[in-house]
Structure 1
Amino acid sequence: MSLLGRRVSLNSLRVFEAAARHLSFTAAARELHSTQSAVSQQVRGLEEQLGMPLFERIYRGVRLTEAGEGLFDAVQEGFATIERAIDALLNRQRHPRVNILTDFSFAAYWLMPRLPAFRRDHPQIDVRIITRQVGEMRPDPEVDVAILFCDERTLAAGVPRLFAEEVFPVCSPGFLAQHGPIDSLARLAEVPLLTLTSEDKAAWQDWPGYFQRLGGIAHRENAELIFNNYTLLIQAAIAGQGVGMGWRGLVDEAIDNGMLVGLTELALHSSQGYGLIDMQPTAAGEAKATLMAWLLEAAGAGR
C-alpha cells in the first residue's frame, strides 16, 4: 500500500477538495450527493489523521487555515493531473495515433503531399511523422510503421514494396537550355553533378554506381556539389546549380510543375526501393492496418 493509502484516503481528499472549493460543508455535500454531517465527519477525520486543522469554523461557513490552503493547492493540482491523463487516454481511444518513421526526403516529397487525402478519408486516425537521416534509422518502440529504402534482400524477405527504384538525371529547364542537350552518359559526365552522400553507405544508387550500372563511361567527379540532405540537393537542382539524381516518386511533382526536367531516356531501374515495414507486428490495430493498406494503395495508384 502506498504512503497515501496508509495515511489518508483518496475519498477524504475528494471531500476536502469540494469543501475547500466551496468554503462550505453544505455546498460540498450537495455536490457530492451526501450530507453536511458526513462531509464534516470526513474533514474532521482527515484533520485528525494529519494532526492539524485545515478549516477554521466561522459564522455561517468555514475558511482555510494556512495548512489547508497548502493542501488544497496540492490536491487540486493532483486531481487536475489525473483528469488530464484520463482525457488523454479517452482521446487516444477515440482518435488512435499511428507513428510513421521515414527519411526526410520521402516525408517531404511523397508522404506529405498525399497525407491530406488520408486525413480526409480517415479523420478519426491521428498520424505522427518521425523523420530521421538514413544513418539514424534505429529501433524505436514508439514507431508503428516505417517507410524505408530497402535493398533487394530485405524486399525479397517479404517486406511490401511501395515502388521499385527508378532513377534518372533531373535539372532545371534553364540549366538544360544552357547545357543541353544531355542525352548520353558522355554528355552527362561533362556537366556539374549534384551528389548525395550519407555517413553510412546507403542502399540507393550514387553517381559511380549509376554510371557503372548503365555500362557507360567511368564516373568522373566533375565540379560536383555535395549534399547530405536530398531536400537541399533538389532545391539546388531547381535553382539551376547542376544535375541531380531523381527518384521516381520523389521528384514527380516537381517535374509535373515544370520546376525540374526529368532526363528519363537515361533512367536506371533496380530491384531496390522503398518498403513498408510493420515495426510492431505483434501489436495488431485497426488504425495501423488501415494506414498501411492506404499507403500501398496510394503507391499503386502512383505507379
Structure 2
Amino acid sequence: MLDDSDLPPLQSLVVFEASARLLSFTAAARELGTTQPAVSQQIRGLEESLGVTLFDRIYRGVVLTDAGYVLLKTTQSSLRDLRDVLQKIKQKPKTQRITVATDFAFAAFWLMPRLPEFRRLHKDIDIRIQTSQSEVDLVSLEADVAILFGGGQYQGYYSEKLLPEVVYPVCSPKLFSEFSGFNSLADLVSAPLLKLNADMGQQWVDWEQLFQLNDSLWQPSESVMEFDNYTLLVQAAISGQGVGLGWSPLLDDYIQNGVLVSLPHFTVESDNGYYIVLSKQHAPSAAVSDFLEWLRT
C-alpha cells in the first residue's frame, strides 16, 4: 500500500495524462512545451516508481496497458477536480484592507466590541486599527478613516459627528454603596476622584467643568490618582479605587452589565464629540464606504 511519500510528483501525472490521452509522447511534449525525451524519461520514472508498465510501445506510438487505463481515468478525474478548485480560489474576491485611526478609549470601549458584527457582514474586509493617546497628526497619518474626539474643525478634511460628548461620573458598585449612592455633589467632593491628565485629555470635560456645568459652588477635591491612559482610569474605577468620568456610549456596556455604576443626575453635555474624519483629496473606496455605512447604523 502506498503512503504519502510514495506518491508520484504531480508533474509526472500531468505528463502521463497528456501522453495517455494523445497516445503519443511526441504530441504530449508539444502540448506541454517540452521535449519527447523529457516526456519519455518522466513516464519511465513513473513506471519504475509504481512497478508496473503503463504503456506498450509500438511502432507508430504507444497504447495503454490495463494498469495505464485505470490510472488515466483516476488521474483525469483528480486533475479536473484540482483545476476546478484552483479556479475557484483564483476567482475568490481579494481581501480588502482599511486602516482606521482613533484613540485608545474609542478603540477599546466602543469599536473593538462591535467589530465582530462588521466582520460578520463583510468577511472580505480586514480592519487595521491605529491608536494614539495624544493628538493625531492628520497630515502624516496614513489611515483611510480617522475617528477623532474634538469640535469637528479639521481644516482640509471632511468631518461628521458620530457620537456626542455625554459625560457622567462612574464608580464600582462597592464604592457606590459606601457613599450611599452619591446623592449630591458634596458627596463627590469627599470621594476619591480619578483624573485624566490635562495634556492627554484637554478637550474632554474634566471634573472642574462637570461641577461648573452642574451650577455647583463646590469644587472637586484633589484627585487621588491621575492617568495618561483612559483605559487604566476605567480599570481603577472598576476596582473601586475612586470615581471617574464616564463617556456615553463608551462605557454603556460596563454599566448595563453592572461592572460600573453611573451617576446620571450629574450628567453634562458639550458641543464636542467623536467625529468621522476623511480626506477631501481622495474619494473613499468601496470598503471604506461599507465601513462608514456600518458606523452610522
TM-score in terms of structure 2 length: 0.66
Give the match for residue 260 of structure 1. 260
Q: Residue by residue, what CA displacement relative to the aligned partner does 1:47-83 show, whole Å, maximum 9, x if unpaired?
A: xxxxxxxxxxxxxxxxxxxxxxxxxxxxxxxxxxxxx
Change (3 A) 1:141 1:246: closer
Change (3 A) 1:269 1:223: closer
Contact (CA 8 Å) 1:171, 1:244: kept in 2 or not? Answer: yes
* Higher Cα radius of gyration: 2
Give the Å deviation of 1:123.
0.6
Counterparts of 2:105 and 2:92, CA distance in 1: 29
Change (3 A) 1:30 1:126: farther
Give the match for residue 202 of structure 2. 202
> Equivalences for 1:4-83 in 2 at 5 Å?
33-36=32-35
Contact (CA 8 Å) 1:169, 1:245: kept in 2 or not? Answer: yes
Give the match for residue 296 of structure 2. 296
Identity %: 39
Contact (CA 8 Å) 1:152, 1:271: kept in 2 or not? Answer: no
Contact (CA 8 Å) 1:144, 1:280: kept in 2 or not? Answer: no
Give the Å deviation of 1:151.
1.4
Change (3 A) 1:172 1:282: same
Give the Å deviation of 1:296.
1.1
Give the match for residue 102 of structure 2. 102
Give the Å deviation of 1:94.
1.2
Give the match for residue 54 of structure 1. none
Contact (CA 8 Å) 1:191, 1:222: kept in 2 or not? Answer: no
Change (3 A) 1:98 1:188: same
Counterparts of 1:181 and 1:126, CA distance in 2: 44
Give the Å deviation of 1:186.
2.1
Contact (CA 8 Å) 1:210, 1:268: kept in 2 or not? Answer: yes
Contact (CA 8 Å) 1:172, 1:261: kept in 2 or not? Answer: yes
Any stretches of 5+ residues in structure 2 without a counterpart?
A: 1-24, 39-89
Counterparts of 2:280 and 2:116, CA distance in 1: 25
Change (3 A) 1:238 1:201: closer
Give the match for residue 180 of structure 2. 180
Counterparts of 2:91 and 2:193, CA distance in 1: 50
Counterparts of 1:225 and 1:107, CA distance in 2: 23
Contact (CA 8 Å) 1:107, 1:131: kept in 2 or not? Answer: yes
Change (3 A) 1:224 1:154: farther
Alignment of 1:133 with 2:99, yes or no, is no
Give the Å deviation of 1:32.
9.4
Give the match for residue 122 of structure 1. 122
Counterpart AA for 1:168: Y
> Equivalences for 1:199-238 in 2 at 5 Å?
199=199, 202-238=202-238
Give the match for residue 190 of structure 1. 190
Counterpart AA for 1:199: D
Counterparts of 2:30 and 2:225, CA distance in 1: 71
- Secondary structure at 2:176 match in 1: helix
Contact (CA 8 Å) 2:100, 2:128: kept in 1 or not? Answer: yes
Change (3 A) 1:154 1:224: farther
Counterparts of 2:136 and 2:92, CA distance in 1: 28
Alignment of 1:161 with 2:166, yes or no, is no
- Secondary structure at 1:98 match in 2: strand
Contact (CA 8 Å) 1:134, 1:198: kept in 2 or not? Answer: no
Give the Å deviation of 1:249.
1.1
Q: Residue by residue, what CA displacement relative to the aligned partner does 1:200-224 show, whole Å, maximum 9, x if unpaired?
A: 5621111112222222125333352
Give the Å deviation of 1:181.
2.7
TM-score in terms of structure 1 length: 0.65
Counterparts of 1:179 and 1:100, CA distance in 2: 41
Counterpart AA for 1:187: D
Change (3 A) 1:92 1:176: farther
Give the match for residue 111 of structure 1. 111
Give the Å deviation of 1:142.
2.7
Counterpart AA for 1:169: P
Give the match for residue 171 of structure 2. 171
Change (3 A) 1:164 1:141: closer
> Which 4+ runs in 1 deviate beyond 6 A?
90-93
- Secondary structure at 2:159 match in 1: coil
Counterparts of 2:195 and 2:123, CA distance in 1: 40
Q: Residue by residue, what CA displacement relative to the aligned partner does 1:22-55 show, whole Å, maximum 9, x if unpaired?
A: xxxx9xx959943449x9xxxxxxxxxxxxxxxx
Change (3 A) 1:110 1:239: same
Q: Which has the higher helix share?
A: 1
